[in-house]
Structure 1
Amino acid sequence: MRRYVHNELTMVVQAVCAVAISAPVTFGVRGIPNADAGRPAIAAFIALSVGSAVSGVLACTRSTRVDGGKWDFERAVALNPDTVLPTLGESLPRSLALRFVAFLVVPTLVAALFWEPWVAIMPLVLVPDRLAKAAYAAYWERRHGVMLWQGHVPDQPLEKGQYLYSSVRHLAS
């Protein structure tokens, strides 16, 4: 199990790590691209980042047209008090997935090396969406006085995508 907020924030870190790998390699091989020549790619990056930010904000609303995370949080199930929760130091590493970093780096590098060098920064498009969701989840946790978890608990069957919550005091004990 891992905290929802930790999962979203590690996704941001993983996207930044992917850029930290792909950008130096791309710019080292192809050189730093000219900003004038890359205007379409930069415009696409800005448009996708704005779309990502809007998506993240809409996911936190009660809009019936958007399958947002807010509804999932409201359907969260109380965690069995006997369940042993990971400490905060364990939750962060559990959220880190090096396969996801590789999943971001490989296509980014291929596209940046053989097509457009500015593609090397494209994983940053994920950041606004994830930051908005993490901020809303932290707000939701604070407002309800609980911690939001995701993952599998053997003695507590859940619907797919359903979240669990625990008391903040449960973690401290």
Structure 2
Amino acid sequence: MIRYVHHQLRGTSVAACVMVVSAVVAFGVRGIPEHDGKSWWVVGLFVAVGALSGAVSITRLNWVGEVRDFESALPLANPVAALPAQDPLRFRLLDVDYLATMGVVIGVPTLAASLLWHPAAAFYPLVSATEWLMRAARAARWERRHGVLLWRGHVEEQPLGKGQFLYSSQRPTP
């Protein structure tokens, strides 16, 4: 189980790492692009698409918004046994498996586009990073407003299906 906000922040950090690696390789091979309007327009487009996607995902709209999923979250039956012993974000901001998976899913196309098309394409992970950051902010606001912590994962005692939202109180029970 992982706290939903932490999962989104991990995704943002992975997207930032993929973007940095892609930019270093693309700028090393093709050189830093000249100061033209095209480069900044592409970067602005990536941020705008990510912001639009993030804005849609933090609404109450059916099938695309996540707020309804937050509100349908169920309480953890035994929070002490189900929750991790330590805060996973504090000790592992970059999950190696997640980094490897997203490096292939996002990194390879980004690197290919930045080498074949334009070096500014190395900033494509800004789309995902912006959306994930907006989701994390919305979930943190929802948690604060409701006084609970939102978790996502699978608990053996509560067979609800993988990916079910669960919540626990902010303070662990003794």
The match for 1:63 is: 61
* Unpaired runs of at least 5, structure 2: none
1:1-150 matches, within 5 Å, as 1-36=1-36, 39=38, 42-64=40-62, 67-81=64-78, 83-90=81-88, 93=92, 96=95, 97-98=98-99, 99-150=101-152
* Change beyond 3 A, Cα 1:76–1:95: farther
Amino acid across the alignment from 2:137: A
Deviations 1:94-120 (A, max 9, x none): 873122133222221122112221111
What is the RMSD computed on CA atoms of the aligned residues? 2.2
Cα deviation digits, residues 112-164 of structure 1 (max 9, x gap)? 11222111111111122111111110011111111100111112111454201
More deviation in 74-83 or 133-142?
A: 74-83
Letter in 2 for 1:14: V
Q: Which runs of 5+ in 1 are unaligned?
A: none
TM-score, structure 2 normalization:
0.85
Q: Distance in 2 between matches of 1:31 and 1:76?
A: 49
